[in-house]
Chain A
Amino acid sequence: MSVKPGAELLTGGLGMEVGVRKELARRRRPFEQFMHGALWLCGAISILTTIGIVYMLGQEALLFFRRPEVRLTEFLTSWTWQPQTLQFGIWPLVNATMGASLIAMALALPLGLLIAIYLSEYADARARRILKPVLEVLAGIPTVVYGYFALTFVTPILRNLFGIEVVEIFNIASAGLVIGVLVLPTVTSMSEDALRAVPVALREAAVGLGATRLETSVRVVVPAALSGISAAFIVAMSRAVGETMIVAVAAGAGPRNFAGWGEALGGLKALNLFQSAETMTGHIVRISGGDISYDSLDYDSLFAIGLLLFLMTLGLNIFSRAIARRFRERYD
């Protein structure tokens, strides 16, 4: 460890010999080194976790794809996920995941942005004092509670609105809407941070030119904060994709299979969000929650789904950070 310039000055001022200073600097301090090592280990654990995740997902997924019953091309292109008949096509699960996530974003994106605009541009201190804790409380509610809410409150409302024949008891739409509520605090707080980071001078300039408050917010502040807002949306999307308990409770227990691309997309059947369908996360939870024997095909298949899920969320997170960095407007 090098002696800091300040320390050198100080000891110099005390008239310490150069030799003594060097000796102090070189003195072995076992406890210091031990603490350094221990803290280094703490940091290393996080790296080990990542390695663990990548290794176990990769290893078990590899086992899955090595099996003679499984073909990678089928996995990536087929619309049937039916482990009993050895059909492993990932698309029914991905379709349900995307459906729920898109509904969630359709709710959380406009609402979250509007609330963020309100908090950062319109609200006075008192309104913020009330609203911020409410959003924090919403963010802190366990997801299984949201699942209960979806099944016992949102689903009956949807069934009343659109008809009992149209909306099944378990459906993607209700799960998606509630996931939207779940990620709302994420969108709001990240977007608000981005909006507040825009310098006041920009707002003052706009108002000085005669813009209304809306015009200032929407045409000056929001575009200036766009990178941060997009990052917020992508992070929220990644959370929606990985959300488990809401879909496990409210979306249904069984993948919605189709014979092929033609059947799935012809007539847009796959896009019917009022039917029950199982998402990637929902499938993992249902299968692993039952009595599953290790080393079975079912068990291995979960890790293939897990790997895909991990790659999707990791990709979204990296993308979000890249956007935030790449398109950030700097005001100095």
Chain B
Amino acid sequence: MGVFADKATAGAAGWPEGAEEASHTRRRRSRGWAWRVAIRCSTVFGLLVLTTLLYNVVNSTWGYVVVRDQLSDQLIVLLERSHITHAERRVDALKEVAGNPNAVVVLTPNLVPAVPDGYRTVPIGDQHAKLALIALVSEDNEFLLELDETLLLKLLPEGSRWSDLVSSWPAESVSLVLVVDEDGILSRWAARQDLPTLDSLGAAELLSVLETHLSAGLIRRYGRDEPMAERSRANLLSLVEERVKEPEVLATFNLRESLVQPAEIKAFADVEGAVASFHSWLTPGFLVRPQSANAAISGIRTALLGSLWVIAITICFSVPLGIGAAIYLEEFSTRNWFGRIVETNINNLAGVPSIIYGMLGLVIFVRALTQITSGSLFGTVSADEASGRTILSAGLTLGLLILPVIIINGQEAIRAVPDSLREAAYGVGCTRWQCVRWHVLPMAVPAILTGAILAVSRALGETAPLVVIGAATFISVDPTSPFAKFTVLPIQIYQWTARPQAEFRNIAAAAILVLLALLLVTNATAVLLRNRAESQRM
């Protein structure tokens, strides 16, 4: 070999000697040392990647978020408990009060429009302070020039007539319009009042909040999903939080930034008129809330249920088939042509990219077998609405995908059963099946199951084939049958990662942690099973 040839030519007359030999040896030693370091480093690289990957996910799952609500809790309650109307834009506000001498529009200084005819502005509070407001009042009511912070604060919750504020004022009823500002000053202003929290509102009040703030069309749409009157309080509350409160995430910070520079983050939030709070994107609520277009209140309930449904079908389909095929190949078809073809074929199938299985599933299960996979054959949906993009198609596709893996692992497990056992079984007159059923399988079952669980955990993380067969992009209804539309956890992660907004990266990270935990549990089961089987065999 090369090394010895080097030595032979190293010295002119054969082997190096004396000082030459010493330096030659030194060189070889140092080369060996350098390479050893290189080899160690590349090994450390593997560890490093795993750590970085986990760090990266954890880093995004926790951290500060700066959130500004479109309407704060207090403002919502205030608007609900009083006679105030609120307008999203000042244009709406001006329309609301047009020609009404008893109207007051309250807005923040930066929003003051060109004052319309017949109106004038009244400053409320210290105009240089952060909480400054401007009131727009009619010129007809001279006395309104006296309007100040105390009077306004009184007016907000209960006052409905001018005379309630100051007895000398006329007994005309007031119509007050609040313009919701972008800086949240009004919200903080409302916060100075002693108002109940949003959580304490009853279902009826929540419903009325929704009816005030949402368009009739939107209410009708929600009503079609589930009648508004029948919805639970928690459901209404989450609707209010999503559609009325409309929390807008201004910025998110990862764990490292949150730990290193919390002061800067708080300062940033103050400037923006928002609230910075340390947020865990991974909460129990995250697991049980349905998907939502708003990252802050979105959850993975549908995806998690979808994953479980799909995996259940995959297991039912591929585990029995895979084990059967493994038994056939190892015990029945040894050395016949059919067995050899199947062997080669399975090895090739194991190397086919998963996305090709997705295309196979699309053609066979989604399109060719629509009648079965959509459930129209069983009368669950009518034939013209039938779509094969269901949990059943997904499960079967993943089943085909992991079948070769289960077969290969199963074969290995069966091969590990010593031949003496089979010979003994045949010796006492067992048929082939009896030998397999009563002697080979009991020995091989733990190993077979270990292999099967590992294969299933692969299916659990598989994304590409399910995107191809057409997972739904947005569903918020729990899957209830194999014929339901579906989304799964990995797809949810993919879709959230693909969004440009930073907060979706955060919930993608949280979902990744859930997925990894799920995989950890399945793999740990497999390892435990393997260890137990090994210790029993001893």
Contacts and interface: CB of A to CB of B under 8 A. Distances in A.
A141 B497 contact: no
A164 interface: no
Contacts of A206: 1, 3
Given A32-B432, A40-B332, A285-B355, A213 B32 contact: yes
B403 A118 contact: no
Interface stretch (B93-101, B228-236, B346-354): B346-354
B85 interface: no
B3 A50 contact: no
A253 B235 CA distance: 37
Interface in B1-38: 1-4, 28-29, 31-32, 35-36, 38
B355 A153 contact: no
A56 B490 CA distance: 26
A103 interface: no
A212 interface: yes
A147 interface: yes
B53 A50 contact: no
A200 interface: no
A167 interface: no
B294 interface: no
A289 B358 CA distance: 11
A145 B325 CA distance: 32
Contacts of B457: 140
Given A42-B328, A43-B329, A134-B47, A110 B42 contact: yes
B423 interface: yes
Contact of A49 (B32, B347, B360, B515): B360
A121 B353 CA distance: 33
B50 A245 contact: no
Contact of B38 (A35, A114, A138, A143): A114
Interface in B347-390: 347-349, 351-360, 362-364, 367
B371 to A, nearest CB: 16
A255 interface: no
A245 B464 contact: yes
B53 A141 contact: yes
Nearest to A127: B43
Contacts of A142: 460-463, 490, 515, 519
B39 A114 contact: yes
A42 B28 CA distance: 57
Contacts of B352: 53, 242, 310, 313-314
A18 interface: no
A110 B35 CA distance: 13
A132 to B, nearest CB: 10
Contacts of B320: 42
Nearest to B327: A39
A317 B348 contact: yes
Given A43-B342, A115-B43, A317-B348, A145 B512 contact: yes
Interface string A212-228: 11110011100100000
Contacts of B342: 43-44, 46-47
A47 B463 CA distance: 24
B321 interface: yes
B29 A46 contact: no
Contacts of A143: 461, 463-464
Interface string B443-468: 00000000000100110111110011
Nearest to B498: A249
Contact of A36 (B2, B355, B432, B493): B432
Interface string A294-314: 100000001100100110011
B60 A152 contact: yes
Interface in B491-519: 493-494, 497-498, 505, 508-509, 512, 515-516, 519
Interface residues on A, range: 35 or more
Contacts of B339: 43
B324 A42 contact: yes
Nearest to A47: B345
Binding site secondary structure of chain B: helix
A145 B60 CA distance: 13
Interface residues on B, range: 35 or more
Contacts of A302: 359
A134 B498 contact: no
Contacts of A239: 351, 353
B359 A56 contact: yes
B231 to A, nearest CB: 31
B35 A314 contact: no
B359 A284 contact: yes
B404 interface: yes
Given A6-B426, A39-B325, A284-B359, A314 B348 contact: yes
Contacts of B358: 288
Interface string A313-327: 110111001000000
Contact of A149 (B4, B56, B468): B56
A46 B350 CA distance: 10
Contact of B355 (A122, A134, A181, A242): A242
A220 B56 CA distance: 41
Contacts of B468: 284-285, 288-289
B519 to A, nearest CB: 6
A154 to B, nearest CB: 9
A53 B356 contact: yes
Given A43-B325, A115-B46, A7 B332 contact: no
A10 interface: yes
B208 interface: no
B338 interface: yes
Contacts of A38: 324
A332 B112 CA distance: 93
Contacts of A149: 52-53, 56-57
A57 B356 contact: yes
A268 interface: no
18 contacts: A1-B432, A43-B325, A43-B342, A46-B403, A49-B360, A50-B348, A56-B360, A114-B42, A115-B43, A135-B46, A144-B461, A145-B493, A147-B497, A188-B46, A243-B353, A245-B463, A285-B468, A321-B347
Interface of B: 1-4, 28-29, 31-32, 35-36, 38-40, 42-43, 45-47, 49-50, 52-53, 56-57, 60, 320-325, 327-329, 332-333, 338-339, 341-342, 345-349, 351-360, 362-364, 367, 400, 403-404, 407, 423, 426-427, 429, 431-433, 454, 457-458, 460-464, 467-468, 470, 473, 490, 493-494, 497-498, 505, 508-509, 512, 515-516, 519, 523
Given A56-B364, A211-B4, 10 more contacts: A1-B432, A49-B403, A140-B461, A142-B461, A144-B497, A145-B493, A145-B515, A145-B516, A148-B57, A149-B56
Interface of A: 1, 4, 6-7, 10, 29, 31-32, 35-36, 38-47, 49-50, 52-53, 56-57, 60, 110-111, 114-115, 117-119, 122-123, 131, 134-135, 137-138, 140-149, 151-153, 181, 184, 188, 206, 209, 211-215, 218-220, 223, 235, 238-239, 241-245, 248-249, 281, 284-285, 288-289, 294, 302-303, 306, 309-310, 313-314, 316-318, 321
For the complex of A and B, list the 10 residue pairs with the smallest distance between their C-beta atoms, beginning with the closest: A242-B353, A142-B461, A42-B324, A39-B328, A244-B464, A317-B351, A214-B32, A42-B325, A114-B42, A56-B363
